[in-house]
Amino acid sequence: MTKELEGKTALVTGASRGLGVHMALRLARGGALVAVNYASDEAAANETVRLIEKEGGKAFAVQARLGSEVAARELADKLDVELTARTGGNRLDILVNNIGGGDYGGIRDTDEAMYDQMFDNNVKGPFFLTRALYERLNDFGRVINISSTGARLTDPSIIVYTMAKTAVEAFTRVLALELGKRGITVNSVAPGFTAGPTNDYIVNDPVSAKQVTDITALNRFGQPEEIADVVYFLASSAGRWVTAQHIEASGGFRL
């Protein structure tokens, strides 16, 4: 596999589980030194690092429970130490804002704590982390925000999640204009229903699985590697002329 990202540094937030693991692996296979961010599961983050190193890649784990300005600054400071020890400087080439997620809940079921949690994870976390790393991002670098197919749906049971992911897409477009003068591209990737631990309860239930695949143009669930490939495309030189875009990788869910 071509090591096109050799010499590049990358941070993937929420890379101890789910899609984040595969994004970190894909960037490392491309040659990047990957910072594997995790909130609390150190063992899982170390497993991601182990998988990368097993393939000959380079990575390290860095802890921060993102969702506040303080946490973002703490992560930036930790990155300074780790990157300087490995590269001689604190510069970052690729930032993947992957943390997010949320619970089901309609407008009558969602209390303030649940609302705040979803906006903290999906909007506040990426915003303040990008702000904290603003000066550390190399010119001609990449910012990739992970959104969701849910951003375009009108499902009352995910109203807050839809609002939050729509905000991510607006953040992406505005930031792309600001960072464009430095040659930095900013894009968002929106996965649909993807196989993996988060969706096992659907994938492994024949009735639920059929309901999903029946309304997916490609008639199957996505694979985590397929989302990671889109992220890699945007991080690579192939994505150099793509910015301010929202790329849905859903196999055509609910067209």
Instruction: Assign 111 to helix, strand or coil.
Output: coil
Cα 169 from Cα 187, distance rounded (Å): 8
Classify 9 as helix, strand or coil: strand
Q: Give CA torsion, residues 86, 20, 62, 79, to 10 deg.
A: 50
Quote the tokens at residue 44.
């899982």
- In the residue annotation, 161 being an active-site residue is answered as yes
- The answer to whether 8 and 33 are in contact (CB under 8 A) is yes
The string over 202-233, giving b where at least 16 C-beta atoms fall within 10 Å of a residue's C-beta and e elsewhere, is ebeeeeebeebbeebeeeebbebeebbebbbb
Distance CA 22, CA 242 (A): 22
Which residues have a Cβ under 8 Å from the Cβ of 24 and sit 6 or more positions away?
Answer: 10, 12, 15, 34, 36, 48, 52, 59
Q: Are 175 and 186 in contact (CB under 8 A)?
A: yes
The Cα 13–Cα 19 span in angstroms is 10
- Candidates 114, 115, 121, 83; CA nearest to 99 is 121
CA 211 to chain centre: 26
Query: What's the CA gap between 89 and 85, in Å, rounded?
Result: 8
- Catalytic pick from 38, 134, 161, 232? 161
Give the catalytic positions in this structure: 161
